[in-house]
Amino acid sequence: MTSTQEPTTDDPGAAAGDIASGTHPSTHDGVDPATIPGIVAGVRQAADSGRTRPLQWRRRQLDGLITMLRRSGDELVEALARDFAKPRLEAHYTDIRFTLDEVRLLRRNLERWTRPRRAKLRLLDQPGKAWVVPEPLGMSLVIAPWNYPVQLTVSPLAASLAAGNAVVVKPSELAPETTAVLARLLREHLDSEAVAVLEGGPEVSTALLEEDFDHIFFTGSTTVGRIVAQAAARNLTPTILELGGKSPAIVTDDADLDLAAKRITWGRFLNAGQTCIAPDYVLVSPHRRDQLVERIVDVIRTHYGTNPLSSPDLAAVVNERHLARLRGLLTDHGGVIATGGNHDAVTRRFAPTVVVDPTPDSALMADEIFGPILPVLSVEDLDAAIRFVNDRPKPLALYVFGEDETGIDRVVARTSSGGVCVNHVMFQVAPPELPFGGVGNSGWGRYHGRAGLEALSNMKPVYKRAVKPDISLIYPPYTRLKERLLSM
């Protein structure tokens, strides 16, 4: 996904100067990049002092996040509405409630998940004992995107704090109203010596990537993910890269079309399509294509009315540049527009759009759409759908609709993706016991729940050998008797 049309779902995301190019101007003043080395040094000092290690400190930080989300959720929802007209219910569910549940889960299980775990030993390892100790990595960097600016800032921050790390947080400048409110609230509710919240444009992200961290957590586009990975490689810094890609939805011949249409439509046009795990295109057999398209068009009308551009339930596109990018995707796609395609430049609303059978190598199908456009493509059969998916970079999510378990199992077994959801979309990220992340171009590393805490920890193995007896089998000279005994 290296096309110049690839959406930037983050803030270094086009990355500044050398990383970006000035295409993402900050809409409010941020930190002076020249002060960043000193700020990072201060956070490093807090990490090295050991203040972030005690469970009591970690509990206080998680409690601070819980209090912030409970008391100031409405304020954040209002800021989201100012940034991109996000519907109130949608904002509460995806950015506030989802995040609050994640932080509460970490807080509730903190002591159990950070406890040293005994490890089993072989006979040759006796007499002794072993265990795994989750310890803080030290200081982490969280670079968050704009599309879910509360959830995708606070969730990785909470995982890092639960693991006992000091943190530098860079929210996105592309959601300026939400970032301003969120930055203020984080400073009010967290330890300011160990947690630094830095506002500003991509030049701030560029400067941060020059510093030495113990972990980098980045959510954004594949293109910028590569830049972050290169920066991290200079210091051999471990990373979690939550990227994107074109997530397919396969509708099999025995699928319930009414159900598939309703759920795919909801997932595609939630947040105006600006969701990294949204179904990016649909694959369906030719004899069911028209029926599915008709049902999707009907659902769009039910959800957003006959004039979606005036619907209060449709969020806006984040800025004019992304609006222009989406318009560009509707030129030379080679397909037929079944509905939508119109937009309002003043409100930045883009009508839910369905494109039937675009050319597979068009820009519409080459890049992650990240907007309210849904291509529906005809494929001969289920095997052809699987080949279509496998011929492209591995997606962050894959969706399959159907009732035949054999067909569903075939899709799951023969494709590779960050996660799979059967007969719905996006719910694979909801259960706290399911780790979330990508594979290949869609990212690496996983978080949510225990997976997040462990990803932001050094899972340190410790082995303690008994002083006596000291078994001499492993020491030279290596005799035939020792060889026989060890082979047993």
Q: Could you state, in chain order, the average pLDDT of each consecutive group of 10 residues for the chain (488 residues)?
A: 37 33 43 96 98 98 98 98 96 96 97 96 90 97 97 98 98 96 98 97 96 97 94 97 95 97 98 97 98 98 97 96 96 96 96 97 94 98 98 97 96 98 96 92 95 97 93 88 85
Detail the DSSP E strand segments found in 190-294: 195-197, 215-219, 239-242, 248-251, 281-284
Q: Which of 102, 242, 368, 454 is catalytic?
A: 242
Residue 466: CB partners within 8 Å, gap ≥ 6? 127, 128
Domain at 248-436: CATH code: 3.40.309.10
Residue 351: CB partners within 8 Å, gap ≥ 6? 308, 309, 339, 340, 341, 342, 343, 372
What pLDDT, on the 0 to 100 scale, is given for residue 488? Answer: 78
What pLDDT, on the 0 to 100 scale, is given for residue 470? Answer: 87
Antiparallel, parallel or unpaired: β 139-143 and 215-219: parallel
What pLDDT, on the 0 to 100 scale, is given for residue 473? Answer: 84
What pLDDT, on the 0 to 100 scale, is given for residue 231? Answer: 97
454 catalytic, yes or no?
no
The residues spanned by each domain of the chain are: 33-244+438-461, 248-436
Question: SS3 for 435?
Answer: coil
Which CATH number is correct for 33-244+438-461, 3.40.980.10, 3.30.1540.20, 3.40.605.10, 3.30.750.24? 3.40.605.10
Q: Which of 102, 173, 276, 368 is catalytic?
A: 276
421 catalytic, yes or no?
no
Which residue reads 């969701």 in tokens? 275
> How many Å from the N-terminal Cα to the C-terminal Cα in the chain?
54
